[in-house]
Amino acid sequence: MQETIKPPAEVLYEKQLKALREEDTGSRPPHWLLSPRSVRDFIIGREQPALLEGREIAITRKFYGNDVLIERAIVTLAGNRGLMLVGEPGTAKTMLSELLSAAISGTSLNTVQGTAGTTEDMIKYSWNYAMLLDQGPSEAALVPSPLYHGMKHGVLTRFEEITRCPAEVQDSLISILSDKVMSIPELEGGVLFAKPGFNIIATANIHDKGVNEMSGALKRRFNFETIRPIANMTMEAEIIVSQSRTLLEHSGVEVEVDRGVVELLATTFMELRQGISREGYKLEMPQATLSTAEAVSVYVQSAMTSYYYEGGTIGLDRLVQNMLGTIAKENEKDLGILKSYFAKVVKARAGEDELWKALYEEKRWIG
């Protein structure tokens, strides 16, 4: 059992990062811990293991999908503009941003969490008011934000969910991104110049409800990379298996991940997301987000429920119950869509496949 629920990427992949750092002889941008090529290898994995203290450390693939996108993202971070990762919820934008920061700056914790309540203070800096009143404005009284920290030490700053912040707060990034300088008028000569190695990785959901539009000026200071949901069932199943295994292990649930059930789940999610069944029939698409991350959560929830209440491996009744909670959470219509999916697609497959038949038998849970 480990100490933290979700250790940061730099802890989780400590050995791989260390091994890569040791073997890396390529040229690095200032203050980068790895060369761009090693950063790429770290994220998309490679066949040849790295050596650490005489032991072979496998460099595993951590991000599935568009490898060329990773290359562009790395080069963007070494350049003048910020990196903006956009895409539907659950497409591993945050994970990618963590991996990039962990590989490049050695930490993925230098993060601003964007919310509707984020203010400019939280982005730039605020004050320790007791000290401020006592001593007047001084550097010691200044409470640095992650962005301030990033500029000062030349490390990457992650900005999560930037479009959740009000537009005027977002815009405080404009001058920082273009001039790489933050002025602190309260201090005498208060100017913070960004050290080389500083850059921003922002993530944004574009389809979510309640997001703010980004100004053109801010858009111009970012290079955009669009991350798409995985379109390959086998690959998605692979991710669900590996992530579920990790999550279940961390929760102390000692059950094997059932590959058949995972494939069933991945197929269902992918078909509903893409609006087409593998036989080529058109399907209605639910409004709810059906990302790989959601599928992992459905699997883990179901496995845990079965483990604790039935004391066994994952049951399809639990799977259907959790599926219902995920797919039909936005509105009533989505429930209808799930029902007709069972009535058409699942029923048709029930005749040919035992597992699908078992799934169809649990349709009572969705009414």
Contacts to another protein by CB under 8 A: 26, 36-37, 40-41, 46-48, 67-68, 71-72, 74-76, 78-81, 86-87, 206, 214, 216, 219-220, 223-226
The alpha-helical segments, DSSP class H, found in 87-160 are 93-105, 120-123, 129-135, 146-153
Tell me if 220 sits within 8 A of 58, measured CB to CB: no
For the bound state, the minimum distance from the C-beta of residue 257 to another protein, rounded and expressed in Å, comes to 27
**Shorter beta-carbon distance to another protein: residue 59 or 142:** 59
Nearer residue to another protein within complex by CB, 69 or 348: 69
Give the list of residues 6+ apart from residue 154 with CB closer than 8 angstroms, or none. Answer: 30, 31, 194, 195, 196, 197, 198
Whole-number Å distance between alpha carbons of 237 and 296: 9
Of the pair 59, 338, the CB lying nearest another protein is at 59
Q: Which residues lie across from 156 on neighbouring strands?
A: 199
- Which residue's CB is nearer to another protein, number 32 or number 307? 32
Q: Whose Cβ is closer to another protein: residue 55's or residue 72's?
A: 72
Measured distance CA(69)–CA(48) in Å, rounded: 22
Nearest to 199 by CA among 102, 80, 85: 80
For residues 222 and 177, what is the distance between their CA atoms, to the nearest angstrom? 9
Do 271 and 345 touch, CB atoms closer than 8 A?
A: yes
176-213 core/surface letters (b: 16 or more CB in 10 A; e: else): bbeebebebeeeeeeebebeebbbbbbbbbeeeeebbe
Distance CA 351, CA 363 (A): 15
Q: Least distance in Å: CB of 118 to another protein?
A: 21
Nearer to another protein, 78 or 348 (CB): 78
**Beta carbon of residue 68, minimum distance to another protein (angstroms, whole number):** 6
159: tokens are: 């900005």
Provide, rounded to whole angstroms, the least separation between the CB of residue 191 and another protein. 24
Q: For another protein, give the closer residue by CB, 20 or 262.
A: 20
Q: How far is the CB of 126 from another protein (least distance, A)?
A: 31
Smallest gap from Cβ 41 to another protein, in A, equals: 7
Kindly state the smallest distance separating residue 164's Cβ from another protein, in Å: 16
Q: Which is nearer to another protein, 55 or 219 (CB)?
A: 219
Q: Residue 39 Cβ, how far from another protein at the closest point, in Å?
A: 9
Say how many CA atoms lie within 13 Å of 212 toward its Cβ.
21
